[in-house]
Amino acid sequence: MVNVVARREDNRPAPITSKELSVYDNGIEQSIRNFTPDPSPARIVLLVDNSLTIRADVEKLEQAAREFAYEIYEGDKLLIVGYDEQAEIVADWTDNAKSIESSLKLFRKKGQPFLFDAIRAVVEEALRPLQGQKRIVVVISDGLDRGSKGTFEQTLAELQSENIVVYAVQAVDRTRGAIRRDVPKPRVVIDKLAEGTGGQIFPIDHASDAAKAICDELRKNRYVLSYVPSSAPYGQARSLLVVGNEGISVRAKSMQQPN
């Protein structure tokens, strides 16, 4: 099963069919077994970097999170988690915008950003129990990790294995592009999280547009695709590519992790 975002570039509302897509697993074209729209409610984790050095003030972080509270669709729920060295719940699963707004006052900037550990904690504690549901992480950060025990590669593989999509509301890179010996640059982290899981990136200064685009997309442009791979070497990750016919844009995760 693969989560796919697909839309017609001319914005016609006609549903997209399996005949308008191709799937390649490890470079080999596959037969699509099923391709159906998925308008089901989403479970969206807002994972907010409130470490001391992020180049965004608390008000901007609050505003970015607040926008989602007023854009989610009926049935959607938000979980808001702030992280530095620890990941802490700011607002538990809810669709109550007023409750979310009052909870945002708990944001405070301190400590170092353990981004990878925060993502893995969210997957383990909040999203893995919701298998079968539409599970999303929106990272509000510049992508800097400074101190996590888990690696970026382990984090991305876990997200892909769980079919969790990552969107990013991206803050300004506090490292200004400096080379880092032990982990990817923050911008590379954000790019690979989104591209590797089928998500998208928006600048934090356009948080309102980001919230609307993400919530609309999850309800109107999400599909579930299934196929049986013609060859699946045991224990090996495989590249995945889903492409649309001319006039159709498609996003999906880039790897199938071993079962």
Domain with CATH 3.40.50.410 in the chain: 42-219
pLDDT of residue 16: 94
pLDDT of residue 50: 92
Walk across the sheet containing 255-256 and list its strands: 28-30, 21-25, 238-244, 255-256
Residue 97 neighbours by CB under 8 Å, 6+ apart: 69, 70
Residue % of the chain over a pLDDT of 90: 83
pLDDT at 259 over 90: no
pLDDT of residue 159: 97
Residue of 44, 46, 98 lying closest to 73 (CA atoms): 44
pLDDT of residue 163: 95
Q: Over range 29-50, report the average pLDDT.
A: 96
Amino acid code (one letter) for 230: S
Report if pTM > 0.75: yes
Share the mean pLDDT of the chain. Answer: 93
Among the four given CATH numbers 3.40.50.410, 3.30.413.10, 3.40.50.1000, 3.20.20.70, the one describing domain 42-219: 3.40.50.410
Q: For residues 70, 191, 177 and 111, what is the CA-based torsion angle, rounded to 10 degrees?
A: 50
Banded pLDDT at 51 (limits 50, 70, 90): very high
Structure tokens at 52: 């001391």
Query: Does residue 179 contact residue 185 with C-beta atoms inside 8 Å?
Result: yes
Structure tokens at 242: 């889903």
Banded pLDDT at 28 (limits 50, 70, 90): very high
Structure tokens at 213: 């685009």
Q: Over range 82-87, report the average pLDDT.
A: 95
pLDDT of residue 186: 93
Other CB atoms within 10 Å distance of the CB of residue 165: 30
